[in-house]
Chain A
């Protein structure tokens, strides 16, 4: 009996508390930089696509919503198409963790409402951004020992020049 009345009083006093609700469209909530929202494909500092079409993200994805096809130009691998079905994506971030090139990244943006489901399938053109995303200085080809036009074998960071086997005499 007394407890019940006390409950009533306490609830009534809540009328003078601050409201916890964020009035969303007018009042944007703070999203931390590592928030897992809409997925983007980022570019190297020199403007090339970072994705090397290794398919690791597609393998890591628990709901299999990434689909891509590899193609090759001038010794650089790149995706021919890259498709994420956001109506299935659960924004777990596994793809970002799996990616060796920091190409695929999740961004603090969740406003992706659509009236038709097929509109939630994003193609590469929709996903690619012009910047580097969260890792401004990283470029995969600068650290990987793969020759591309403009970078000979052995020119990567912390890579010694290749050894001419024919000069190795006892």
Chain B
């Protein structure tokens, strides 16, 4: 292993953490913009260092573990959330050559696996807090995230079929002519919704549901452990955005500008879209969410898989 590879491995998580922290500020500014107010604009240029100030504050908060909690699992849960979110970035190809783990031939599956493990963070946090609100949040999270993982996987099948590979590099290469968002528009919609549910972002933030569950699964968390959930959520947004970019928006492809800039631009746009969703949509009821998943998204994604398969077969036989 070369030293530059080691450096990448060490630097990337730090960079991602910084990015996620910055994103808390970006989100608040954008929410302000769309809600006719300013958002944090005092600390530093444009309020940019608000995230730093918040970080310092949260670091010095009392880190309290409730006596009725299951201590070990309670501490483990936020770490799992953080780890899975950061590990998933290992296979995201920013440009042709870059990407931490290089070109993993099961890259897409690796990300799905990490997302699957990410469920534990929320569920275990809910269970180990040993409080009713947290438990309810954890149970909702378990049901919601497991169901939406199914649709996410099925939606991705279309992309995998068209590219003929699980490797993210190959998928981007396969989008040389046409971005997959056009032939795979159904899959794109399903993947987007599943991505929101998977990162339990608004409007699908039922595991947290401030106005009915306190703060849901992290009701009992304080200090930096809460901060880790927070950062993991933002890392999750960046992850899903960069996934959408890679899978449907042609990854680093684009005219004129260098590839990395294109990738960052597209990802940034997706992140902004996520925040726009939060700014405008109300949270559905829990049964509505599940019904949407199993009664609408599942048939749609199955239809997508079948249609893609049929067209590919026909094209191959011609």
Contacts and interface: CB of A to CB of B under 8 A. Distances in A.
A19 B36 contact: yes
Contact of B279 (A4, A11, A23): A11
A7 B36 contact: no
Contacts of B38: 19, 21, 23
A18 B37 CA distance: 8
A25 to B, nearest CB: 10
A10 B37 CA distance: 16
A18 to B, nearest CB: 7
Interface string A2-22: 001001101110110111110
B277 interface: yes
B98 interface: no
B276 A20 contact: no
A14 B36 contact: yes
Contacts of A19: 32, 36-38
A15 B281 contact: no
B34 interface: yes
Contacts of B280: 7-8, 10-12
Contacts of A21: 36-38
B192 to A, nearest CB: 12
Interface in B233-281: 276-277, 279-281
Chain A's interface size range is: 10 to 19
A52 to B, nearest CB: 47
Contacts of A20: 36-37
A23 B32 CA distance: 13
B35 interface: yes
Interface in A1-55: 4, 7-8, 10-12, 14-15, 17-21, 23
B36 A8 contact: no
Contacts of B32: 19
A17 B36 contact: yes
Given A4-B281, A7-B281, A12 B34 contact: yes
A18 B36 contact: yes
B33 interface: yes
Contact of B35 (A8, A14, A18, A23): A14
Nearest to A9: B280
Nearest to A14: B34
A162 to B, nearest CB: 66
Given A17-B36, A18-B36, A19-B37, A12 B281 contact: no
A154 to B, nearest CB: 63
A12 B34 CA distance: 6
Specify which of A10, A11, A15, A23 lies most central, judged by the most chain B CB atoms within 10 Å of its CB. Answer: A11
A89 to B, nearest CB: 29
Given A4-B281, A7-B280, A15 B33 contact: yes
Contacts of A18: 36
A22 to B, nearest CB: 10
B181 to A, nearest CB: 16
A21 B36 CA distance: 7
A15 B37 contact: no
Contacts of A4: 281
Contacts of B35: 14
Nearest to A17: B36
Interface string A63-105: 0000000000000000000000000000000000000000000
Contacts of A14: 33-36
Given A4-B281, A7-B281, A12 B36 contact: no
11 contacts: A8-B277, A8-B280, A8-B281, A10-B280, A14-B33, A15-B34, A18-B36, A19-B32, A19-B36, A20-B37, A21-B37
Interface of B: 32-38, 276-277, 279-281
List the 10 closest A-B pairs by CB distance, nearest first. A11-B280, A21-B37, A20-B36, A7-B280, A14-B34, A15-B33, A21-B38, A11-B34, A17-B36, A19-B36
Given A11-B280, A19-B37, A21-B36, 8 more contacts: A7-B281, A8-B277, A10-B280, A11-B34, A12-B280, A14-B35, A20-B36, A23-B38
